[in-house]
């Protein structure tokens, strides 16, 4: 469990209530009252508050309650905020290992894998900040070079390298922004969910079954139903309450 509380807004009453809920949830977890802990942490989310520690503790409470799908959802949400948090990543790996009939893609080309790992290591805001700092350093060196304060050929080449790196960093930020804007994914939170050929029971055929913790892309939705596509290309309709969108 993590006990760092970041919910501080100059001592306002809402923040005090959030802190009390957070502390109560932590204590309930310690006492083995995982349902109470989950209720407290989910109440905080319902009130519009979130941070990595909250998702980490919520994921742990769900994991101890053997709700693997919900735990994976919580850990993924935490990693969106804190992509380099080792505890979140380790717990997510453990939870993923509990998925029944887990689907896995073949290993991508190592350069593509390296690019993806780097892209998911930083948030969009961090990419933009890093790119801006590189551009500022490039402009500073270029100004010194133009005014003759620095005439080293190595510096001139370094300015060019900085420009390329800055463009790459901003390109990765744009790539991640577009991906997050267009990506609609969810986590299956029930076991043995049946995927149908259409958005209602009746005469529709059961195409396949999926287990909790599986990540699926969300394509379209109708009242009470959502169409999903799995990483192996299977598509089908499942009840909305059997998954939780990321």
pLDDT computed for residue 8 by the predictor: 46
- Whether residues 74 and 21 fall in one domain: yes
Phi first, then psi: what are they for 123, rounded to 5°? -80, 165
pLDDT computed for residue 7 by the predictor: 46
- Whether residues 164 and 218 fall in one domain: no
Phi first, then psi: what are they for 228, rounded to 5°? -120, 160
Q: 118: which residues sit within 8 A by CB, 6+ positions away? A: 172
Q: Which of 71, 96, 121 is the last residue of a domain?
A: 96
- Whether residues 60 and 124 fall in one domain: no
pLDDT computed for residue 15 by the predictor: 75
- Whether residues 91 and 32 fall in one domain: yes
- Whether residues 190 and 171 fall in one domain: no
Half-sphere exposure of 140 (CA within 13 A, CB side): 6
Assign residue 190 the CATH number of its domain. 2.30.30.40
The total number of structural domains that make up the chain:
3
Domain contains 103: no
- Whether residues 88 and 138 fall in one domain: no
- Whether residues 199 and 226 fall in one domain: yes
Q: Which of 35, 62, 96 is the last residue of a domain?
A: 96
- Whether residues 52 and 91 fall in one domain: yes
Question: Would you list the DSSP string of 218-243?
Answer: EEEEETTEEEEE-TTS-EEEEEGGGE
- Whether residues 198 and 171 fall in one domain: no
- Whether residues 137 and 84 fall in one domain: no
* Cα 97 to the center of its chain, rounded Å: 18
Domain contains 104: no
Question: What is the greatest pairwise CA distance in the chain?
Answer: 80
Q: Could you read off the pLDDT of 8-65 as tens digits, one per residue?
A: 443 444 778 888 999 999 999 999 999 999 999 999 999 988 888 999 999 999 999 9
Domain contains 166: yes
Assign residue 46 the CATH number of its domain. 1.25.40.10
**Residue 57 burial by Cβ neighbours in a 10 Å radius (0-12, 13-18, 19+):** buried
Which residue reads 């992509």 in tokens?
83
Q: What residues of the chain score a pLDDT lower than 50? A: 5-13
Determine the angle formed by the axes of helices 153-182 and 124-146, rounding to 10 degrees.
160
Domain contains 7: no
- Whether residues 21 and 34 fall in one domain: yes
What are the strands of the beta sheet with 215-222, ordered from one edge? 206-210, 193-196, 235-239, 225-229, 215-222, 185-188, 243-245
Q: How far apart are CA 53 and CA 78, in angstroms?
A: 7
Q: Which of 96, 122, 154 is the last residue of a domain?
A: 96
Within 10 A of 222 (CB to CB), how many other CB atoms are there? 12
When the pLDDT of each residue in the chain is averaged and rounded to a whole number, the result is 85
Long-range contacts of 36-41 (CB under 8 A, 24+ apart): 37/61, 38/62, 38/65
- Whether residues 178 and 190 fall in one domain: no
Domain contains 5: no
Q: How far apart are CA 103 and CA 105, in angstroms?
A: 7
Range of the structural domain that residue 68 is part of = 13-96
Domain contains 101: no
């Amino acid at each position: 469990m993590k006990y760092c509380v970041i919910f501080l807004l100059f001592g306002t009453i809402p923040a005090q209530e959030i802190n009390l809920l957070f502390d109560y949830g932590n204590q309930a977890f310690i006492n083995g009252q995982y349902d109470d802990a989950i209720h407290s942490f989910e109440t905080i989310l319902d009130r519009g508050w979130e941070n990595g520690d909250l998702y980490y503790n919520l994921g742990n409470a769900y994991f101890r309650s053997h709700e693997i799908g919900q735990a994976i959802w919580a850990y993924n949400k935490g990693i969106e905020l804190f992509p380099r948090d080792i505890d979140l990543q380790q717990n997510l790996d453990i939870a993923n290992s509990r998925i029944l009939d887990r689907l896995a893609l073949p290993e991508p080309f190592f350069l593509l894998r390296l690019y993806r790992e780097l892209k998911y290591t930083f948030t969009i805001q961090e990419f933009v900040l890093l790119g801006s700092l590189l551009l500022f350093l490039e402009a500073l060196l270029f100004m010194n070079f133009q005014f003759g304060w620095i005439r080293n050929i190595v510096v001139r080449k370094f300015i060019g390298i900085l420009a390329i790196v800055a463009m790459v960093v901003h390109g990765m930020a744009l790539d991640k922004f577009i991906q997050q804007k267009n990506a609609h994914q969810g986590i299956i939170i029930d076991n043995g969910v049946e995927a149908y050929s259409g958005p209602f029971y009746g005469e529709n055929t059961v195409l396949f079954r999926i287990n909790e913790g599986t990540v699926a892309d969300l394509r379209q939705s109708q009242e009470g139903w959502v169409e999903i596509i799995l990483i192996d290309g299977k598509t089908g309709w499942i009840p909305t309450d059997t998954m939780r969108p990321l």
